[in-house]
Amino acid sequence: MNKPKVLVTRQWPASVEAKLSNLYDVTLNESDRPLTAEELKIALQQYDAVCPNVCDALPAQVLNVENKRCKILGNFGVGYNHIDVAAAKQQGLIVTNTPGVLTQSTADIAMTLLLMSARRGAEGDRLVRSKKWTGWCPTQLMSSDVTGATLGLIGFGRIAQAMARKAHHGFGMKILYVKPSPAEQAIVDELQAVRCDSIAELLAQSDYVSLHCPGGAETKHLMNAQNLALMKPTAHLINTARGDVVDSLALIEALKAGTIRGAGLDVYENEPNLHPGFLELDNVSLLPHLGSATIATRTAMGEKVLANLAAFFAGEELPDRVV
């Protein structure tokens, strides 16, 4: 009996690729080169399953390709705004994701960026590497306190709650959050978290604002010039959610003008082609989308995809079905 044909669009942890190779007629991306829209169309025509990631844009124009063989997109990642799920549903194409396993690693990166931005870590690193550091100075790279400061979370799902635990229990931070409905009382009690009635209320009170909302049309440019202006001039913005939640140009102007003190970014609009204005600023810390980039987490994400594929080809209920 022929094995199902599966395409993996980028390199995955070796242990997961080995399992895929054993179970399926799999094509791996040994060059780790992003696929073009035309290559993705061909993949949908030639494979039973395609396993994309956040860098693979799958709009309706790609998904609606004729003579499609593919029946499932086993997405490597929890976010799926790069996939037109409405078009996928219309085409009868199943989409799965990998929730739960990347919560702690992504929250760790959010805290890393908060600390880097607050304590001017990237600037300090550049100073030492430039060989211009002349030694300790009482006024050198003075920065913002983290302990006891107020952290505002826009979105309060698993990753935001994990960050809140690290911030509150580790640094004594006060936790504010905004979401459509109140969080579970046990979580509120544990974190002494206060729900704000609006984003504007949260922005005005927070020393650090961390974004944890999904990407897509509803949240595109949520952090625009108007909302950035509501933040304290001493505040920092952290984004580990999706790049398009922030208006890049507006943030660059806010950082230049001193509307806010700093920012820490792991995701960008049109990544990896981030706005060149960011590279001219000292008060922004930039990471290359490292949120889930630990060996254990990326392996667990791959295992999640394997579980979804196994369920699909066995005709069983899929554990992480999106549509």
Give the active site residues: 242, 271, 289
Name the region of 296 (left: φ>0; alpha: ψ -120 to 50; beta: rest).
Answer: alpha
Inter-residue contact 81 to 61 (CB < 8 Å): no
Nearest-angstrom CA–CA distance, 240 and 77: 13
Q: How many CB atoms lie within 10 A of CB 44?
A: 24
The length of the chain, given as a count of residues: 323
Nearest-angstrom CA–CA distance, 144 and 192: 23
Q: How many CB atoms lie within 10 A of CB 56?
A: 24
Q: Is 147 exposed, middle or buried (0-12, 13-18, 19+ CB in 10 A)?
A: exposed
* Nearest by Cα to 178 from 212, 209, 155: 155
Nearest-angstrom CA–CA distance, 188 and 6: 44
Inter-residue contact 65 to 45 (CB < 8 Å): yes
Coil, helix or strand for 185? helix
Q: Is 184 exposed, middle or buried (0-12, 13-18, 19+ CB in 10 A)?
A: exposed
Inter-residue contact 114 to 210 (CB < 8 Å): yes
Q: In what order do the strands lie in the sheet with 174-178?
A: 194-195, 174-178, 150-154, 208-211, 236-239, 262-265, 284-286
Quote the radius of gyration of the chain (alpha carbons, Å): 21
Nearest-angstrom CA–CA distance, 68 and 56: 17
